[in-house]
Amino acid sequence: MFKSTVLAIATFAAMAAAPVSAATITTLFNTGTDASNTSVAGIGAVDQHWTLAGGTAYVSGQNGVFPVGTNWLAEDAVSRWITPAPLAGATLDPTVDGTYTYSLAFSLAGLSPGSAFLSGRYAADNEVLFITLNGTALATNGGGGFAAWTAFDSTGASFLAGLNTLSFTVSNFGQASGNPSGLRVEVGGTAAVPEPQTWAMLVLGFGLVGFAARRRTVVVAA
54: helix, strand or coil: coil
* Predicted local confidence at residue 196, as pLDDT: 61
| Lowest-confidence region among 4-8, 75-79, 174-178, 213-217 | 4-8
**How far apart (Å, rounded) are the C-alpha atoms in residues 219 and 222?**
5
Q: 180 preceded by cis ω (within 30°)? A: no
Q: Which helix (DSSP H) or strand (DSSP E) does residue 104 occupy?
A: strand 98-107
Range of the domain at 220: 1-19+195-222
Question: At 22, which amino acid appears?
Answer: A
| Residue 83 CB neighbours (<10 A) | 32
Q: Are residues 123 and 55 in the same domain?
A: yes
Q: What is the pLDDT of residues 99-119, one digit of tens each?
A: 999 999 999 999 999 999 999
Question: At 10, which amino acid appears?
Answer: A
Q: Are residues 132 and 46 in the same domain?
A: yes
- Measured between its terminal Cα atoms, the distance across the chain in Å is 17
Q: What is the pLDDT of residues 3-33, one digit of tens each?
A: 444 444 444 444 444 446 889 999 999 999 9
Count how many domains the chain has: 2
Q: Are residues 162 and 217 in the same domain?
A: no
Q: Kindly tell me if the per-residue pLDDT of 194 is higher than 70.
A: no
Q: Are residues 50 and 100 in the same domain?
A: yes
* Predicted local confidence at residue 213, as pLDDT: 47
Q: Write the CA distances from 29 to 34, 43, 73, integer angstroms.
A: 8, 19, 19
Residue range 189-205: mean pLDDT, rounded:
64
Tell me the pLDDT band of 175, cut-offs 50, 70 and 90.
low
Q: Give this prediction's pTM.
A: 0.79
| Angle, CA of 190, 206 and 208, to the nearest 5° | 140
Q: Are residues 153 and 221 in the same domain?
A: no
* Phi and psi at residue 163, to the nearest 5°: -80, 135
89: left (phi over 0), alpha (psi -120 to 50) or beta: left
Report which of 147, 36, 149, 49 is spatially closest to residue 103, judged by C-alpha positions: 49
